[in-house]
Amino acid sequence: MASMMSAHLSKDFFDLVKAIGESKSKQQEDRIISDEVQTLKKKMPEAKISRKKMKEFLVRLIYVEMLGHDAAFGYIRAIELAASKNLIQKRVGYLCSGLCLSPDHEFRFMLVNQLQQDMTSSNFLEVAAALGATIRLATTDMIPPLLAHVVKLLQHDRELVRKKTVMVLHRFHRLDASAVSHLGPQMRRTLCDKDPSVMAASLCLLHAQITEKPLGFKELVPSFVSILKQIVEHRLPRDFDYHRMPAPWAQLRLLRILALLGRADQSTSEGMYEVLGDVIRRADTGINVGYAIVYECVRTVTTIYPNNNLLDEAARAIARFLGSENHNLKYLGITGLAQVVEQHPKYAAEHQLAVIDCLSSVDDTLKRKTLDLLYRMMNPVNVEFIASKLVESLEQSTDDFLRRALVSRLCTAAERFAPSNAWYVATIVRVMELAGELVPNEVAQQMLSLVAEGGEEGDADALRADAVDRFVGMLHREVVPDGLFHVLAWVLGEFAQLSSESASVAEAIATLAADDARLKGAPRARELLLTALIKLAAQSDDINTKAALRSLAERFASSSNIELQQRALEALNLLDASTEDSGLLEDALPYDASLEDPLDGVVTGEGEDRNGGDALGFLDRFVASALNAGAAPYQKPVDDENETESESEEETSNFKFEAYAEPQKPGRRVQQTSYPMGDSTENDEEIARRLQEAEYANQPPQRTTARGGNAIGSGGGLAAASGPWGAPRQPVAPTPAAPRPAAAPTQQQRAPTPTEPEEKTAEQAEKERMAAALFGGVGAATAAAPRRAPRKASNASSRQASRSPPPPAPPPAPEPSLLDLGAPEEPPAPAPPPPPVSDLLGDLSAPAPAPVPPPSTASDPFAAFDGLSLTEATPSTAFAPEKLTTADFGGRWGPTKHEKRAEVSLTPTQTTPDAVAAGLAKVGAVLVEAIPATRELILAATHTPTAAICLWHVKLLATSAALVTVRSPNPEVARLALEASVGALSSSA
């Protein structure tokens, strides 16, 4: 008690804190706070209260707000105390204001003048207090009056003030990035600050700016590399060490920055290889913060331009993670493997059994990450095994978010890699059984269309019969999901006669439709089952089926459900009319007519213009009966053809003859167009970047800032920073150093040592069998999975076609247009895999391993993994020239849907097709054809690592700029090609 009292705390405050801590329930705590609110309301307005006592009251006010009660009555006292000359009282006033005032509270603006005064104070502690308050209190509207004062403090003598100033600028950037975009030179100086804390603080702001636009910071790479090298070599004071690891948070930030700057840029990445290898080797010390740095290195290595030595080092780090008994490290290993396997699948071969072990782990988080890895590895060979694991997880999971992800992935996998139509139908039906409410309507409709089409040619009814048998078995279940009821009723209504016991099917449908208990959770199920029974009665001559239909329709003819009542009355009318015309039901509801146009063959016109068929002829008797009863005949609307023609002529002749406005000169800012892919588990920064690109997907390229300038936020290039953290005057060439032995793992996490081969147990043999199924199958290469049959006309459509005269032959298709970007395009090919997420770790200095002899097909588990092998040649460049003719280019352009587009400014000497072609030749693109008259050219290349074709279309604009459009079947390849093209043209400019 005495110590508390000596710390300027009253007994009342001590009793309050003690009572809150000892409260036994939320109700007792609320009573204590309510009493405290009444006490503060009574004492705070007193006139003679001292500032020292007011400071304590504000601290008690913070407790009130922290525990969920309103203390708005005391906010004005916090504003007043912030103007105190006493430093402690001032800091309490700022603290209370920052914690209690909401972002849109008007009292925040009352502090602007006080913040300006404190920032100009001669006491650096007051300046630091004002800067700390600005970080918590600043809003977008407060930036203009405070920015000038904040920028001046970048030159302050105290490193504490300079560090807090950089933190304030980072806060301003998060509120409004344009507000600090002009501070490029100042941020360059902070990166070179002599104090490591200021330098580390500046990395956060630079990272945020580089994330938005990396092209404007390429010249700072040597500075970042130099800083990282000095940190790794322990040149910082020991105060920055954490568990003997030098400045780990600065290392992590620098690695993320280098990953952004080195993406798809070979020349920039080559300057990072040496330091990245050094960081990996020094960080692997067996402590958690070291593992974090190793993992971030792996992500960086797999994001920048690939290097074999670094990738091998990353694979070894992943192996150490997967071989650990620690589930957290296994999670890192699975995450890293998921990122590596998309672009470098050969590194997954040695971890097959480890993946199977993680799949059966009791750790739910680890199991989810393993399922994500399986989805990324899916291909036509292993789709059945992986889909079974995803279905099994869906069956056991109760987490709504996980179930949604699993349903999305299963539907996507079944659509892309289904080995057969029957497997596709069975998989979608099983998913609808387990989570029917989460399956999109488009997926169910696509499955019904496939059943209606009938599967492979020559065996149209096999798929339908299999679907009918599957749904007939569900008629006797106690619970059927509502979404599945729609599919079940439609399939049985259309094709139930393919069942060997069609009469029993009709009886089961009638029994289910009359069962109120089983249809309680499916409001529309009874309507759908009644319609299915009507179709069965039309397709069958069975008297019992029609009797069951009549009984059911009579029961629901007076139902309160209007839709059900209407269908019941229609059924009764059809049954009554069919007694006079036995073929009426079959004409109204023909078999296998779901793909027909219901108005196909409708009689149109009058007199000599009368044409068409008799598709609606069964309605003639009803029309005649209505006319005889006095109904008015149908009158065709009268169209004013002359008025329509004149309007169309006026529209077609409405051309614009005025000159267009002169366009503005573009800057170097590059705006990309991106089409985000479906499901994936990317990190937050990658997701934010792709969502931002998606917002511009439907917008034309925009011209932005003018060329030039050194502002970091404006896109101008910055010279490499110099000084204590800058690049060395004589940069060291990235020559590989001798490999250093990796640090041994700890005793608890040591990787298992190889032992003498033992006899395989049954459990181990089963794991190896599962691994073989997962990783593409063991043995000879498997042929590609059969594609689903193309859509074909239904039987009824064929019958209708036989009755109708043959249509005139279509005109011959025109030759493919070379550069007609607006021409109609063919339907898109199946969606490619999701874009890769940033990878994991790597080594640079280790020499390249000796080439491994190619394994035989009998022992290569990747023999059927999309043609992948355990050995892979590394291309010297990312893109290789692809020689195409103009016709070939035009034929490939339309179906290639993944497009990236950017506008790049050019120098006057570079605004010719030949100059642009020479610039893109550095990327590997070869000229297909150039059209000087229209200032357009097309080029082609092949992405060597993925063998994906890449097509360029460049349009030279009148504003000394080029509109570069890149298309590729792989969205990541298109992005890499565009970034490389922009870099090549910009460097030439």
CA 786/CA 381 separation, integer angstroms: 10
- If we measure between CA atoms, which residue out of 146, 141, 117, 115 comes closest to residue 130? 115
Q: Is 985 left (phi over 0), alpha (psi -120 to 50) or beta?
A: alpha
Residue 345, number of CB atoms within 10 A of its CB: 22
Residue 102, number of CB atoms within 10 A of its CB: 9
Contact 949, 942 (CB under 8 A): yes
967, containing H or E segment: strand 961-968
Binding residues: 43
The DSSP call for residue 881 is E
Residue with tokens 């076609």: 801
Bridge partners, 902 (sequence order)? 964
DSSP 3-state of 900:
strand
Q: How far is CA 475 from the centre of its chain?
A: 39
Contact 506, 533 (CB under 8 A): yes
- Tell me the two tokens of residue 800: 């209708």
CA 939/CA 431 separation, integer angstroms: 45
First to last CA, the chain: 74
Residue with tokens 């040619």: 457
- List Cβ neighbours of 582 (8 Å cut-off, separation of 6 or more): none
Q: Half-sphere exposure of residue 829, counting CA atoms within 13 Å on the CB side?
A: 15
The DSSP-derived string for 34-79 is HHHHHHHHHHTT-TT--HHHHHHHHHHHHHHHHTT---GGGHHHHH
- If we measure between CA atoms, which residue out of 682, 839, 790 comes closest to residue 344? 839
- Tell me the two tokens of residue 513: 């439709």
Burial bucket for residue 643 (CB in 10 Å: 0-12, 13-18, 19+): exposed
Bridge partners, 938 (sequence order)? 929, 953
CA 803/CA 95 separation, integer angstroms: 86
CA 836/CA 681 separation, integer angstroms: 9
Contact 337, 355 (CB under 8 A): yes
CA 598/CA 604 separation, integer angstroms: 14
